[in-house]
Amino acid sequence: MNASLHAKSREVLSLAIPAMVENFLQTVVGFVDTLFVAHLGLVEVTAVGVANTLLAVYIAVFMAIGIGTSSIIAKQIGAGNTAYAQHAARQATWISLIAGLFFGVITLCFAESLLKLMGASGDVLREGTTYFRIVGIPSLVISLMINFGNVLRASGNTVSPMMVSFWMNLIHIGLDYLLIFGIFQFSGFGVAGAATATVLTRTIGAAMLFLAIRRSLIRFSIWRKKSSLDTPITKKIIRLSIPATAERLIMRLGQVVYLGLIVTMGTEIYAANAIAENIETFAYLPGLGLGVAATILVGKQLGAEKIDEAYQYGLLSAIISVVIMSIAGVLLFFCTPFLADWFTNQQSTANMITLAMRIDAFFMPPLAVGLVLAGALQGAGETKIPMYSTAIGMWGIRVVFIYLLGIQFKIGIAGIWIAQGIDLTVKAVFLYYFYKKLFIRSRSHRISTK
């Protein structure tokens, strides 16, 4: 039994660790981009930040398409039906292409209007429009890159996306510096250079990921003849992706609302909260990586009709995530005062950041459970349950409690992070209840059909 548990743990970690590293590398890309643009000035930083807020909505939709794809591919790989998995990968690519072209047209026609809706004006609007158009019009590059990464991970290959992310980091840093600041007689393009570097890096990344697919078990041809499987698979991907898309949009809209509430608490609290969220991003990485492993392994085992194994892999991934993220919580608790000093020389702001992270440290276990079980449920093809948990948590708890604790009771930043902790705890309980219920139902169905 111990040997079996050890083997399963190694399998979980062999998938999760490359996904964690990949997420870390992607976080570094954003950090370096912000760092370089910050040297241009506050206007440029604000412009890129506002544009990236809109691009995050695009990315959320593309990632939601990937959730539906991942579930289907993992199950079919588990069932030994590689041909069906290849069909699913091809159809997901076409859906991603269409989605990317759609958002590209939206950006082409409405870039300036969308940024105005976000409150941009003057120089921020001008620079933001430039950045948004350069990055947003070729949105198909973003959608394809996300899709190809999902296809590889769903097939059980998390190493190739990690290696591509590593090379993308190196390429992006070089291009970013060169195109923003220039070299020798070339003076650089500023914000336009940052946008161009991002597009070129993503194009190279998408090409590298597709080459990895072509060398893998899941290889497919985009231009092959139409198959009778195409329409059913497309409908299945869309059916699974719609709740996932709704979940991402519910989350983004909720963030806009609660950040608006935080703004009313004052500039210092808003800045401290923003810095705390940036620090917390690194604590998320283990849970995100183990969520990817849970999606793959649960889907694969269900495809092989090993219901008990699927259930165990999901729970084991959650337990490993709790252990790792609890350690991260301890580090957050004790190390945040030093990290806060890197971001600000204002002692009162640093104290707020420290308080926020020390509150957050106690909620690392429910965060770990929520991230992994959401991935496990999505691997099982249950994309509605994570959507419901996000809707209830974001609108029924987080927004309400931020208003009550932060504004009405004037607890400030402590109220914000206590509200978030309550949301995470309720979400973890909710997801565990439905995860367990799903597998009880699956076992009953298997027994009744024997």
**pLDDT one-digit tens code per residue, 370-400:** 999 999 999 998 989 999 999 999 999 999 9
Percent of the chain with pLDDT over 90: 47
Q: Which of 8, 2, 55, 66 is nearest to 379 (CA)?
A: 66
Give residue 32's pLDDT band: very low, low, confident or very high (50, 70, 90). confident
The pLDDT value recorded for residue 36 is 80
Percent of the chain with pLDDT over 70: 96
**Is the predicted pLDDT of residue 298 greater than 70, yes or no?**
yes
Q: What is the tens place of the pLDDT at every residue in 212-261? A: 999 988 888 887 767 767 788 888 888 888 898 899 888 888 887 887 78
Domain coordinates in residue numbering, the chain: 17-224, 241-445
pLDDT of residue 2: 65
Kindly indicate the confidence band of residue 339, based on its pLDDT and cuts at 50, 70 and 90.
confident
Give the pLDDT score at 217: 86
CB 345 within 8 A of CB 261: no
C-alpha 288/C-alpha 23 separation (Å) is 8
Of residues 108 and 274, more confidently modeled: 108
- Whole-angstrom CA distances from 447 to 151, 301, 380, 450 are 33, 17, 19, 5
Q: Please tell me the least confidently modeled range out of 89-103, 114-128, 223-237, 295-309.
A: 223-237
pLDDT of residue 41 exceeding 80, the answer is no
Q: Residue 3 has what pLDDT? A: 61
Q: 221: left (phi > 0), else alpha (psi -120 to 50), else beta?
A: beta
pLDDT tier, 355 (very low <50, low <70, confident <90, very high otherwise): very high
> Is residue 448 predicted with pLDDT exceeding 70?
no
In terms of average pLDDT, the best of 266-280, 408-422, 431-445 is: 408-422
Sign (positive/negative) of CA torsion 110, 115, 120, 123? negative
Q: What is the pLDDT of residue 444?
A: 63
| pLDDT of res. 341 | 81
- For the residues 262-282, what does the mean pLDDT come to? 82
pLDDT surpassing 60 at residue 450? no
Indicate whether 324 pLDDT > 70.
yes
Structure token pair of residue 237: 């991907």
